Amino acid sequence: MAELSPMMKQYFETKKKYPDTILMFRLGDFYEMFFDDAVTVSRELELVLTGRACGQEERAPMCGVPFHSADSYMARLVAKGYKVAICEQMEDPALAKGLVKREVVRVLTPGTVIENSMLNEGRNNFLASVYFAGESAGVCFVDVSTGSVNLTELASPAVPDKIINEIGRFMPSEIVFNSASSSLTKVFSFISNKTEALAQELGDSYFDPRQSTETILAHFKKDSLSELELHEGSAAVPALGAALKYLTEVQRNDLENISSISFYSELNFMRLDVSALRNLEIVETLRNREKRGSLLWVLDKTRTPMGKRMIRAWLERPLIGMARITKRHNAVAELVSQPMVRQELGESMSGIHDLERLITRISFGTAGAKDLRALALAASCLPELKEKVSVLSSSLMRECAENIDALSDIYELIDAAIVEEPPFSVREGGMIKDGFHPELDSLRDIVLNGKDYIAAIQQQEQEKTGIAKLKIGYNRVFGYYIEVPNSYKELVPDEYIRKQTLANCERFITQELKDLEAKVLGAQDRIVKLEYEIFDDIRKRTGAELARVQRTAAAVAQLDVLCSFAQAALENNYVCPQMSAEPIVKIKEGRHPVVEKMLNGEPFVPNDTVLDCGDDRCAIITGPNMAGKSTYMRQVALICVMAQAGSFVPAASAELGIVDSVFTRIGASDDLSAGQSTFMVEMSEVASILNNATSRSLIIFDEIGRGTSTFDGMSIARAVLEYAADKKRIGAKTLFATHYHELTELEGQIDGVKNYNIAVKKRGDDITFLRRIVRGGADGSYGIEVAKLAGVPKPVVDRAKKVLKEIEESGLVLVREREPSTAAEPEAGQISFGQNSSNEIVEKLKVLDVNTLTPIEAMGVLYELTKSAKEI
Ligand SMILES: Nc1ncnc2c1ncn2[C@@H]1O[C@H](COP(=O)(O)OP(=O)(O)O)[C@@H](O)[C@H]1O
Ligand SMILES: [Mg+2]
């Protein structure tokens, strides 16, 4: 086998160190990729695949991108979930002896990028680090682009479920984990089905507890873990340690912007698991995963990128501490009552760019002059903003006023140094203002006036020699030269040095010309270098103020979100919820914040809610399809979430106790893609709710038991309701919509259960939805009427009515109309249905019309018949 070329050897040595990345290898003006990387990239980015001689018989597959436009190619690869290692030339190829030295200077990965082009302004970009240790787990989410670190420790029981919930909440774009985590099949099926995160196992050395402790202490410059609210032996330590180590490796940087940790526990936030977040459409819709149609869409009036990210985080993690919640409400109330101030604050904030991400890039040394200018522009809005917040008196507003730093020194520094519209590149000059640096000014004078000097020499030489056609020109080979037409050759003085003879002229140089040239050309090079040095110095001096900028950014974000809540409250007519120490949910004229905005012109009918831990623990809600059951239940849950996130709520009044979690079980048709049957998914969600809910929880069950046969479904629904309502088991506040009218029997039988239905008005075959919730069970299911309303053709509706009548008359009634409940209480856990007899089975068979049954229906009937038979 032939030897590889030296360059290829260098390539392979580098590639060996970064086997799981796409290696972009700098060759002059291009980044080249070879072999498998080239094939992958040419496919993913639709680039031409070529080849390059590599010393072997076959040419190496190769594809490349020009270095000046490489960013967008890199961004696309990272967005597709690839890791990209950037290998640069570490010396000037013109000066290098032999092979140019090359090194990987950074690895771009989805969870660790800081470039604007690879980030979404309104969302954090998290790297998750998961350390699983059996009984407990540490989970850490770092957004290196903003410097935020969220860290938690999860203890048994149900550690895998808790990991899933945290991942669902933060939606990281990349996850690293220790080897023990790889046994968590449930977690990984969640990651691959429900997230787009790139997941990879890191060697266990990354998670070594002792090394992690050292890494953490060194990074945060502390002497002990307790100064960071951490302790030895906590699973959070290796999770954080591994994240820091990994980030340092890919960033090649000391991560100065990561300067504090937010250590949170399940005790700080309302528990909203992944299905609740999705079902309640908190930040995106269930169907299209769009912001429009979500709660965030209604409430987000923020003006700054930091505010956009924070409002999302607040809605995803509502609080459970009374004091912190009411502090937010008080601030919103103050902003609602001061419309002028709020508007002015909004205007001041509109000019504030992404302070968090700007200061990150500045402190990492990757920011350009445009970034500095953007920071200065943001800083220029701060003094006014600070002054305006200072007139407000609620405690959160006072906190904001205190934490907003006017950053005037930073503004002045940047404004004095950097031109208004600097170029993108920091290596070509044109960034620094005149008058900022004396040496730069004098160099610029030489360059500027150099042309005049040349013109003066030209004139002087013309006069001296009497050659009117003598010209001074410039080319890259000899620099400046004097050109004399052949006809004047005789007049050329002796001191001219001949350089080139052309067909009709000759070119000369003189000492004087060369001296000037050295000065002029040298000045241009020197200017570019000096400008970079000055710029870098300004960047470093600005970067040194990182902590002040970060604190200001956080205060602006908070102010932005509270203003946004206030504006949404005014625009949508919300009220301040009254938080109560009692475990109650008392809502007068509550509305669904999203549905009310989606009803083109039609009025939304408000409804009251009373739930507590006593007689009104559990509401069974019946009513025809489309009546508004799901809307009503979600509205109650959303009002609780909004209140605990700090927002006002859509109601005439609301008195709310704090709920520790909201659980939902609502249709899951989309889960088929996850390879589980709908019913299986439904039951595993029910299981998770029953295992995790407490008496302080709010549970929403929307038509459980639908995915299986009627008797099965009804039995399960009833048993679940009994368990949830039972004070000895859970006793949670529960809203339970069902199409099983039998379950309305439970009022009076089970403590705390009340029946409600959503009223409809019936006239002949037609029904009108009144959308009003009233006491008592619904008096029928009105399926046929709803079908008619939906536009099902008349012959079908008529036929359905006839079939229904036949079935009712024949006794094949699987679900009987409710009879006034007899006092006898069933034994716990036992379910009473009509007695079956063999006669009944024969009757059922008689009326069956096999020709009209679909195979699935036939299976259902068969199943029920065999079941009835077994019960005889
Ligand atoms: N209170 C209300 N006021 C006005 N329209 C409503 C109200 N509640 C529901 N709706 C409308 O009725 C539709 C169906 O409601 P939904 O809650 O899905 O019914 P169900 O769950 O009973 O089948 C909603 O999409 C909405 O347009
Ligand atoms: Mg529904």
Query: What pLDDT does 474 receive?
Result: 86
Looking at residue 687, its amino acid is: A
Q: Identify the residues whose C-beta falls under 6 Å from ligand 1.
A: 595, 599, 604-605, 623, 625-631, 771
For the segment 321-333, the average pLDDT, to the nearest whole number, is 97
List Cβ neighbours of 646 (8 Å cut-off, separation of 6 or more).
314, 319, 325, 328, 329, 331, 332, 561, 562, 565
Ligand number nearest to the C-alpha of 628: 1
pLDDT top residue among 69 and 611? 611
What are the pLDDT digits (tens) for 136-186? 999 999 999 999 999 999 998 889 989 999 999 899 999 999 999 999 999
For the segment 620-649, the average pLDDT, to the nearest whole number, is 95
pLDDT top residue among 527 and 854? 527
What are the pLDDT digits (tens) for 249-267? 998 888 999 988 888 887 7
Spatial distance between the Cα atoms of 543 and 278, rounded to a whole number of angstroms:
39
pLDDT top residue among 514 and 646? 646
Nearest CA to ligand 1 atom 11: 628
Nearest CA to ligand 1 atom 9: 628
Q: Is the pLDDT of residue 789 over 70?
A: yes
State the SS3 of 577-628: CEEECCCCEEEEEECCCCHHHHCCCCCCCCEEEEECCCCCCEEEEECCCCCC
For residue 625, give the ligand 1 atom closest to its CA: 23
Among 599, 631, 736, say which to mutate for ligand 1: greatest number of ligand atoms within 8 Å of CB.
631
Longest alpha-carbon distance in the chain: 134
Spatial distance between the Cα atoms of 647 and 329, rounded to a whole number of angstroms:
7
Q: Is the pLDDT of residue 843 over 90?
A: no
Spatial distance between the Cα atoms of 69 and 89, rounded to a whole number of angstroms:
17
What are the pLDDT digits (tens) for 313-323? 999 999 999 99
Query: What pLDDT does 187 receive?
Result: 94
For the segment 763-781, the average pLDDT, to the nearest whole number, is 84
Query: What pLDDT does 811 receive?
Result: 62
Q: Is the pLDDT of residue 654 over 80?
A: yes
Give the Å distance between the CA of 697 and the centre of ligand 2. Answer: 21
Spatial distance between the Cα atoms of 263 and 240, rounded to a whole number of angstroms:
11
For residue 592, give the ligand 1 atom closest to its CA: 1
pLDDT top residue among 784 and 220? 220
Query: What pLDDT does 142 receive?
Result: 97
For the segment 425-435, the average pLDDT, to the nearest whole number, is 90
Spatial distance between the Cα atoms of 52 and 32, rounded to a whole number of angstroms:
10
What are the pLDDT digits (tens) for 89-102? 998 888 888 889 99
For the segment 5-10, the average pLDDT, to the nearest whole number, is 90
Which of these ranges, 17-26, 427-436, 448-457, 687-696, has the smallest mean pLDDT? 448-457
Query: What pLDDT does 524 receive?
Result: 85
Query: What pLDDT does 819 receive?
Result: 42
Among 587, 595, 598, say which to mutate for ligand 1: greatest number of ligand atoms within 8 Å of CB.
595
Nearest CA to ligand 1 atom 4: 604
Give the Å distance between the CA of 595 and the centre of ligand 1. Answer: 8
Query: What pLDDT does 554 receive?
Result: 96
The pair of three-digit structure tokens given for residue 816, joined into one six-digit string: 């009987």
> E strands within 218-293?
262-263, 271-272
What are the pLDDT digits (tens) for 52-110? 887 777 888 999 999 888 888 999 999 988 999 999 999 888 888 888 999 999 999 99
Nearest CA to ligand 1 atom 17: 628
What are the pLDDT digits (tens) for 460-475? 999 999 998 999 988 8
For residue 633, give the ligand 1 atom closest to its CA: 17
Q: Is the pLDDT of residue 346 over 70?
A: yes
Give the Å distance between the CA of 599 and the centre of ligand 1. Answer: 10
**Which residue in this structure is represented by tokens 């939304």?**
604
Nearest CA to ligand 1 atom 5: 604
Q: Is the pLDDT of residue 864 over 90?
A: no
Q: Is the pLDDT of residue 230 over 80?
A: yes
Query: What pLDDT does 812 receive?
Result: 55
Which of these ranges, 265-269, 599-603, 676-680, 766-770, has the smallest mean pLDDT? 676-680
Above pLDDT 70, what percent of the chain?
A: 93
Ligand number nearest to the C-alpha of 623: 1
The stretches of 57-128 forming alpha helices (DSSP H) are 70-79
Which of these ranges, 106-120, 156-170, 784-798, has the smallest mean pLDDT? 784-798
Give the Å distance between the CA of 592 and the centre of ligand 2. Answer: 14
Residues with CB under 5 A from ligand 2 (ion): 630
For residue 627, give the ligand 1 atom closest to its CA: 22
What are the pLDDT digits (tens) for 275-313? 899 999 999 998 888 999 999 999 999 999 999 999 999
Q: Is the pLDDT of residue 659 over 90?
A: yes
Nearest to 275 by CA among 707, 635, 639, 664: 664
Q: Is the pLDDT of residue 670 over 50?
A: no
**Using 50, 70 and 90 to split pLDDT, how confident is the model at 349?**
very high
For residue 623, give the ligand 1 atom closest to its CA: 22
Nearest CA to ligand 1 atom 24: 628
Structural domains for the chain? 6-108 (3.40.1170.10), 120-266 (3.30.420.110), 322-407+545-572 (1.10.1420.10), 438-532 (1.10.1420.10), 578-780 (3.40.50.300)
For residue 603, give the ligand 1 atom closest to its CA: 4
**Using 50, 70 and 90 to split pLDDT, how confident is the model at 350?**
very high
- Tell me which DSSP letter residue 431 carries: -
The CA dihedral of 794, 799, 805, 808, to the nearest 10 degrees, is: -120
Above pLDDT 90, what percent of the chain?
A: 62
Give the Å distance between the CA of 619 and the centre of ligand 1. Answer: 18
Give the Å distance between the CA of 592 and the centre of ligand 1. Answer: 10
Q: Is the pLDDT of residue 674 over 70?
A: no
Task: Count CB-CB contacts under 10 A for residue 613.
Answer: 17
Q: Is the pLDDT of residue 598 over 70?
A: yes
- Alpha-carbon separation of residue 705 from 241, 267, 425 (angstroms): 45, 32, 62
Nearest to 180 by CA among 138, 225, 227, 122: 138
Query: What pLDDT does 856 receive?
Result: 65
Q: Is the pLDDT of residue 787 over 60?
A: yes
Nearest CA to ligand 1 atom 1: 605
The secondary structure of 788-835 as a DSSP string is HHTT--HHHHHHHHHHHHHHHHHT--SSPPPPPPPSPPPPTT----PP
End-to-end CA distance of the chain: 82
What are the pLDDT digits (tens) for 805-842? 887 777 655 444 444 444 444 444 433 344 456 677 77
List Cβ neighbours of 329 (8 Å cut-off, separation of 6 or more).
576, 577, 579, 643, 646, 648
CA 724, chain centre distance (Å):
34
Among 626, 701, 773, say which to mutate for ligand 1: greatest number of ligand atoms within 8 Å of CB.
626
Query: What pLDDT does 672 receive?
Result: 45
Spatial distance between the Cα atoms of 777 and 737, rounded to a whole number of angstroms:
11
On the CB side of 741, how many CA atoms lie within 13 Å of its CA? 20
Which of these ranges, 515-519, 651-655, 700-704, 721-725, has the smallest mean pLDDT? 515-519
